[in-house]
């Protein structure tokens, strides 16, 4: 298995909802990442997990809560989001931090 | 401040023609440079990765060059196809020991190939 999978592909949620984005890889990678990407902009790093431990949090609001249950899974829990949080959320993984990252297809999130 | 600048921002070419995309960076110390292709609404896909000691790397019709002295890279696409229409993103990584810094993304070049 040489890919990163993300679910769901699309998500529409209200500002009072609680939802979760899921990311999975079975390449044995020990670094996993969450990015946020707005239209026509490059991805912006949100979180980095290295060996299942949060190593980087790029000043992301607390309404985004990451979780790494094991070396293959990465979740992003969403609560009380704002319309400006609507974006493409990309998950990536790499063998180790700063090595080539493999991106998932993304989850397109719309907050109403 | 680490920066990656790409040019042009957008480009329209006819199918079958060649094109070259540019990337200038100020990331230091430097570990490697990657070119990614990103289709609209999809995740980026790695095309090439080069370390500071490599000058050229090819992947099919894609050829990347790197001049570590001038901190410039280019991506040359040969015999373009309609499926090449996408954003091309230049990404620079600092040295592995500099764990506090992560990848620096360029703004991308949006390429449109017309029939």
The CA radius of gyration of chain B, in Å to the nearest whole number, is 14
Nearest to A42 by CA among B97, B5, B60: B5
The stretch B100-114 carries a mean pLDDT of 86
Mean pLDDT estimate for chain B? 90
Share of chain A above pLDDT 70, in %: 97
Two structure tokens written together for B37: 């292709």
Chain B: nearest CA to A85, how far in angstroms?
Answer: 16
Give pLDDT, residue A58: 78
Q: Note the pLDDT of residue B100.
A: 47
Could you identify the residue written with the tokens 């992560």? B102
The percentage of chain B sitting over the pLDDT mark of 90, rounded to a whole number, equals: 70
Q: In DSSP terms, which residues pair with B5 in a beta bridge?
A: B24
- Given pLDDT bands bounded at 50, 70 and 90, which one contains residue A1? low
Mean pLDDT of chain A: 92
- Determine the Cα–Cα distance for residues B40 and B24; give it in Å rounded to an integer: 24
Task: With beta carbons under 8 A apart, name residues in chain B contacting A41.
Answer: 107
**What is the DSSP code string of chain A?**
---EEEE-SEEEE-TT-EEEEEEEE-S---EEEEEEE-TTS--EEEEEEETTEEEEE-S--TTEEEEEEETTEEEEEEES--GGG-EEEEEEEESSTTSPPEE---EEEEE-
Question: Using CB atoms, which residue from B41, B89, B102 is nearest to A48?
Answer: B102
pLDDT for A2 equals 66
Higher pLDDT, A81 or B94: A81
Q: Which of A37-41, A77-81, B9-13, B94-98 has the least mean pLDDT?
A: B94-98
The lowest-confidence range among A37-46, B72-81, B106-115 is A37-46
A100/B102 touch (CB, cutoff 8 Å), yes or no: no
Q: Is the pLDDT of residue B99 over 60?
A: no
d(CA A71, nearest CA chain B) in Å: 20
| Predicted confidence (pLDDT) at residue B56 exceeds the cutoff of 70 | yes
Is 60 exceeded by the pLDDT of residue B105? Answer: yes
Is B49 within 8 Å of B34 (Cβ atoms)?
A: yes
| Contact between chains at B42 and A105 (C-beta distance less than 8 A) | yes
Looking at the predicted structure, is the pLDDT value of residue B97 above 60? Answer: no
HSE-up of residue A41 (Cα within 13 Å, Cβ side): 12
> Which pLDDT score is estimated for B18?
98
Task: Give the C-alpha separation, B110 to B98, whole Å.
Answer: 31
- Per residue in A85-94, pLDDT (tens digit) is 999 999 999 9
User: What residues form DSSP beta bridges with A78?
Assistant: A19, A64
Give the residue on A whose Cα is nearest the Cα of B101: A98
A74 touches chain B (CB under 8 A): no
For residues B101 and A26, which has the higher predicted lDDT (pLDDT)? A26
Measured between CB atoms, which of A42, A48, A92 is closest to B107?
A42
Q: Is the dihedral of CA B63, A35, A43, B105 positive or negative?
A: negative
Reading the block at residue A26, the tokens are: 């079975």
């Amino acid at each position: 298995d040489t890919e990163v999978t993300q679910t769901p592909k699309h998500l529409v949620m209200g500002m009072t909802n609680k939802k979760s984005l899921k990311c999975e890889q079975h390449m044995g990678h020990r670094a996993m990442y969450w990015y946020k990407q707005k239209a026509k902009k490059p991805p912006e790093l949100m979180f980095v997990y290295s060996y299942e431990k949060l190593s980087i949090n790029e000043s992301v609001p607390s309404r985004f809560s990451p979780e790494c249950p094991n070396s293959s899974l990465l979740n992003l829990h969403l609560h009380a989001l704002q319309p400006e949080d609507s974006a493409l959320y990309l998950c990536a993984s790499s063998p180790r931090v700063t090595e080539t990252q493999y991106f998932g297809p993304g989850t397109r999130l719309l907050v109403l | 401040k680490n920066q990656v600048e790409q040019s042009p921002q957008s480009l329209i070419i006819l199918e079958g023609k060649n094109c070259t995309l540019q990337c200038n960076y100020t990331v230091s110390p430097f570990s490697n440079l990657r070119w990614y292709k990103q289709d609209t609404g999809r995740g980026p896909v790695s095309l090439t990765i080069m370390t500071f000691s490599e000058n050229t790397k090819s992947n099919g019709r894609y050829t990347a060059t790197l001049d570590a002295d001038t901190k410039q890279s280019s991506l040359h696409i040969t015999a373009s196809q309609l499926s090449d229409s996408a954003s091309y993103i230049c990404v620079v990584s600092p040295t592995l020991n500099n764990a506090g810094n992560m990848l620096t993304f360029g703004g991308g070049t949006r390429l449109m190939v017309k029939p």
